[in-house]
Amino acid sequence: MNPAEASTARWSLSKEAAGRLVTVADQTPGLQDEQQERFAIWEIDPIAGRALTETLILLGVHAAFQDDAASGADVSHATVVRLDLHPIAESLRTRSRHELFASLPAAPTDQDARRIDQLRLMSYAATPRSTLSLERLVQEAALMIRAAADTVPGPAPTLGDLV
């Protein structure tokens, strides 16, 4: 598999895993209502905030997958399902923002590309409001990942544990 194909395959697997993660997090009682309340307090449009939060989760999963691939792991479903959820949540909070945008496929879908561009603008904006909004969205994404992780017994839940 050439590098472009590998990048596209990793993105596709990451997108599938992130979707499963969001679905599991959404089953947490009260999470969506609390999220809506926080968005209202933060003056973030709930629909846009939710979409950007889901995209941040996708970027976090993809970054973890990329890290694993950089250490020589194959591009496969087996590789992505063994990724630990807690480090994904933590890396969203601690990773340099530009690292989240590294190694994206050449042509993500239009919807993904628009959301990624919005996050890039927020990331590189010089206004305190953009920076604060991005930090709040990152906080929300990490909260959703931890909520999904809490549904799995044991100390090191993985993406593969989410059913």
Tokens of 28: 């947490």
Closest CA relative to residue 147, chosen from 53, 22, 25? 25
Spans of the chain below 70 pLDDT: 1, 72-76, 106-108, 163
The pLDDT, as a whole number, for residue 107 is 61
Tokens of 77: 């479903």
The pLDDT, as a whole number, for residue 60 is 92
DSSP 4-72: HHHHHHHHHHHHHHHHHHHHHHHTSTTHHHHHHHHHHHHT--HHHHHHHHHHHHHHHHHHHHHHHHHTT
Segment 90-99 long-range contacts (CB within 8 Å, at least 24 positions apart): 90/142, 91/60, 91/63, 91/64, 92/56, 92/57, 92/59, 92/60, 92/138, 92/141, 92/142, 92/145, 93/138, 93/139, 93/142, 95/63, 97/123, 97/124, 97/134, 98/123, 99/63
CA of residue 111 relative to chain centroid, distance:
15
The pLDDT, as a whole number, for residue 106 is 66
Rounded Cα gap, residues 159 and 163, in angstroms: 9
Q: What pTM did the predictor assign?
A: 0.90
The pLDDT, as a whole number, for residue 44 is 92
Give the count of beta carbons closer than 10 Å to the beta carbon of residue 10.
Answer: 23
The pLDDT, as a whole number, for residue 75 is 64
The pLDDT, as a whole number, for residue 82 is 85
The pLDDT, as a whole number, for residue 154 is 82
